[in-house]
Amino acid sequence: MDLLIEQGDALAPKDHAEAVAIFRAQVIGPLLTRHFTTHGELAGAIRDVSRHLHRPPGRRVSRRYSKATIERWYYGYKRGGLAALRPRRRSDAGHARELTEEQRTLLLEIRREHPRASAALIVRTLELDGRLAKGAVSASTVRRLYEQHGLDRLSIQAAGGPVRLRWQADRVDALWHADVCHGPSMRIGGRTVPLRIHAILDDHSRYVVAIQAATTEREVEMLALMVKAMRGLGRRPEALYLDNGPTYRGDVLTTLCARLEIGLLHAQPEDPQARGKMERFWRTLRDGMLHHLGTPGSLHDVQVRLLAFLAKHYHVAPHASLMGKTPAEVYETAARDARPITEEALGAALRVHGKRRVRTDGTLEVGGTTFETRAGFLAGRVVVVARTLLDVTADPWIEHEGERYLLCRVEPEENARRKRVGPSANRPQRGLDVSFDPPGALLDAMMRRGPGSDDGGAR
């Protein structure tokens, strides 16, 4: 009898269960065609089958099956044929198998951040942290989710390429990342102005310790932001991790970090993956805020939105790399181990020096402003002028021979009413005040010799 198959007909499994049974029969096919005389011979053949990759129906990636699974399928087929290989209905069917969209997003993000963590470890960690209810999600459900998205460990391993190990600082403030992001152009005063977002992020907690909207990306902006972060938090990092660009290789940042005993690290050129944590934050910022800014009209408006985004979204949202905890939780919990920093220490670290010549009227120029000293004996001398960048409104001072002399802004009207003093005025006093009067000393000597003494003069 000839077999008649009309166009469009296809011989296919009637349902998914039969497709799975056929697949399993194919896996154990090499075992079914052989006759084994000993159990050891069968065990060796099962071990060989377990080494091969097989792609299950409805899956995009292949996987290996354990020896126990293959042995179970083999004996099941021997007892009940193809029907015995059909998957059984789960005893927990209908219970805790459906994932919410929030759970799916969290689980997938965690796997991307922790590709080597097992599904069981991820579920157990989230349950301990209270991110998942006990028994709400099984490890097998999470495992299937990863297989559907090509995030199972075998798929990640098969992807090949160089392996970059994930790393993280072991405590908060051990390492701060600093970088700049280009935002949408602003429109201020009828002209287009660039927008640059400077930020500093703690490596261990992913907490943004400082963020600032600016129009340029110079070293001075990053320096000001770092000082702002340390003053606001009252602590300093152990190391600062920066891009390799010229913005972060100037002498100012280098000097500040050295004075505060902060390690200064730079990423290798042409290695963007090394800055992955910072890039991940920029992507979150763009998706959550920058792409929805439109055309800002002021830096103040952008700054307000940046702070609101951090406070209301980023810092309080579960983070995949933190196993579902929030950056604020991690940073604030571990803040007790911080390295404190005082205003005095910051001021000393930000002290700058320069040489100036004092004019004959006791004045000199510092930063385009005329200052004067009451130490008249310094007139005409080249002196060292010091000031701190921590407070630009504070007056500078002169450091000369171990002494400090204050400078004040020139006030011509006040000087007109002030009594002029000699050059020796305001000279630091050293020892006792001894009078010096040569004519008086000669007269005293003559009086002590008395009348008739030989004065060496005319007779």
pLDDT digits (tens, 9 = 90+) for 83-100: 888 887 655 444 445 678
Domain boundary among 311, 340, 369: 340
Any domain includes 4: no
User: Global pTM?
Assistant: 0.56
Residues 120, 265: one domain? no
Clarify whether residues 68 and 118 are in a common domain.
no
- How far, in Å, CA of 366 to CA of 349, rounded? 20
pLDDT interval class at 369 (50, 70, 90): confident
Q: 363: domain range?
A: 350-417
Q: What is the CATH classification number for the domain harbouring 303? A: 3.30.420.10
Structural domains counted in the chain: 4
245, pLDDT greater than 60: yes
pLDDT for position 10: 52
What pLDDT sits at residue 3?
45
What share of the chain in percent tops pLDDT 70? 78
Q: What is the pLDDT of residue 273?
A: 56
Query: In the 8-state DSSP scheme, what is residue 382?
Result: E
Domain assignment of residue 327, yes or no: yes
Residues 316 and 204 grouped into a single domain? yes
Which tokens in the block code for residue 121? 């470890």
Looking at the structure, tell me whether residues 203 and 303 fall in a common domain.
yes
* Domain contains 318: yes
CA distances from 215 to 226, 284, 328 (A): 17, 21, 28
Mean pLDDT across the chain, nearest whole number? 79
pLDDT of residue 335: 63
Contact 172, 204 (CB under 8 A): yes
Q: Do 47 and 153 have their domain in common?
A: no
How far apart are the C-alpha atoms of 116 and 128, rounded to whole Å? 19
Collapsing DSSP to helix, strand or coil, 4 comes out as coil
Note whether 54 and 64 are within 8 A (CB).
yes
Nearest to 424 by CA among 412, 436, 415, 414: 436
Query: 325 CB contacts (<8 Å, ≥6 apart)?
Result: 129, 318, 319
d(CA 440, CA 438): 5
* pLDDT tens per residue across span 30-63: 888 788 888 888 999 999 998 888 888 877 778 8
Do residues 183 and 81 share a domain?
no
Are residues 122 and 226 both part of a single domain? no
Last residue of one domain, picked from the residues 315, 340, 365: 340
DSSP state of 172: T
**Within this chain, do residues 243 and 269 fall inside the same structural domain, yes or no?**
yes
Domain boundary among 57, 85, 113: 85
Assigned domain for 372 exists: yes
Q: Please report whether residue 110 resides in a domain.
A: yes
Residue 268 to residues 196, 208, 237, 253, Cα–Cα distance (Å): 23, 23, 21, 18
Residue 11 is classified by DSSP as -
Residue-wise pLDDT tens digits, 385-438: 988 888 777 889 999 888 889 898 887 655 555 555 454 444 544 444 456 667
In a domain, 79, yes or no: yes
- Residues 137-183: pLDDT tens digits? 888 888 888 888 777 765 555 555 444 444 566 788 888 999 999 99
Clarify whether residues 333 and 295 are in a common domain.
Answer: yes
Please check whether residue 94 lies inside any domain of the structure: no
Amino acid letter, 127: E
**Domain match, 120 and 144 both:** yes
**Residues 143, 32 share a domain:** no
Residue 457 lies in a domain: no
| Pair (254, 385) in one structural domain | no
